[in-house]
Amino acid sequence: MESWNAERYLQFGDERTRAAVDLASRIALDQPALIVDLGCGPGNSTQILRQRWRREGL
């Protein structure tokens, strides 16, 4: 079994990130008390959350 490879994962970054963009846009909270990204990958979903809520400690 091949080990996980961030470069290979990001070859399809737009496709993989689309779900995170769609889900984040459906969250109807202006300032969530806590945001936790439990995903795996190179952090592309975390970037989406950070852009949406502009906060430290995500």
**H/E segment holding residue 46:** helix 44-53
Torsion of CA 31, 37, 42, 48, to 10 degrees: -30
The average confidence (pLDDT) of the chain is 85
> Does the pLDDT of residue 21 top 80, yes or no?
yes
pLDDT at 2 (0 to 100): 75
Contact of 55 with 35, CB cutoff 8 Å: yes
pTM over 0.75: no
**In 3D, which of 44, 25, 26, 24 has the Cα closest to residue 35?**
24
Domain membership of residue 33 (yes or no) is yes
Domain membership of residue 1 (yes or no) is no
Residue span of the structural domain in which 21 resides: 6-53
Q: How many domains does the chain have?
A: 1
Confidence bin at 13 (pLDDT 50/70/90): confident
Domain membership of residue 43 (yes or no) is yes
> Does the pLDDT of residue 1 top 70, yes or no?
no
pLDDT at 22 (0 to 100): 95
Domain membership of residue 34 (yes or no) is yes
Domain membership of residue 45 (yes or no) is yes
Domain membership of residue 23 (yes or no) is yes
